[in-house]
Amino acid sequence: MNPLSRVLSGRVMALVAAGASAAVIATTFIGEKEGESLSAYQDGAKVWTICRGHTATARPGMRAMPEMCDRLFASDVGTALSETDRIVTVPMSEPRRAAVASFCGFNLGLAKCTGSTFIRRLNADDPEACDEILRWVYVGGKDCRDPASNCRGIVIRREQEAALCRL
């Protein structure tokens, strides 16, 4: 059994094995992580969010239809991939592009990611750069490795993003 199959879903692994584009891999991977909410809510970092991880225009009381969520998600994935290509200056595999788009575009935020050690190490072609993702396990000042923090999902997501990044 491939050890990655315990970390990444079968759907994502099948896309990687088939040589899918970063957009297809990212859409599946991020979609699995974000879920979908038709009502705006504050995430663990108190950021207003709606649909599948959309934050740019989310606000209290906002409601969305599934079709709107599909459009926002497609646009957000496209933006995350474009920004990934802008901030990473070295060639990347399609799975790595998808992982960076997930980590930077849908979780950490592009502004924080741009100046991060992770991006500096990627751009230096450091073979261990993907390990930096594992360090980002804090939400709202809480260490998500602590079971009492109620944010353990972030630790799991980081493990998955790092695994995808290494492909």
pLDDT digits (tens, 9 = 90+) for 82-93: 999 999 999 999
DSSP bridge partners of 54: 50
To the query of whether residue 128 is one of the catalytic residues in this protein, the response is no
Q: Catalytic pick from 36, 43, 126, 131? A: 43
Asked, for residue 132, whether it belongs to a domain, the answer is yes
Which range marks the domain in which residue 134 is found? 3-33+65-165
CA torsion through residues 138, 141, 147, 152, sign: negative
Asked, for residue 52, whether it belongs to a domain, the answer is no
CATH code, domain carrying 136: 1.10.530.40
To the query of whether residue 34 is one of the catalytic residues in this protein, the response is yes
- Condensed to tens digits (0 to 9), the pLDDT of residues 32-86 reads 999 899 999 998 888 999 999 999 999 999 999 999 999 999 999 999 999 999 9
User: Residue 51: in which H helix or E strand, if any?
Assistant: strand 48-51
DSSP bridge partners of 41: 49
- Name the pTM for this structure: 0.92
Residues 114 and 80: beta-carbon distance below 8 Å: no
Asked, for residue 46, whether it belongs to a domain, the answer is no
Asked, for residue 136, whether it belongs to a domain, the answer is yes
Asked, for residue 25, whether it belongs to a domain, the answer is yes
23 to 53, 55, 100, 117, 128: CA distances (angstroms): 16, 19, 12, 24, 24
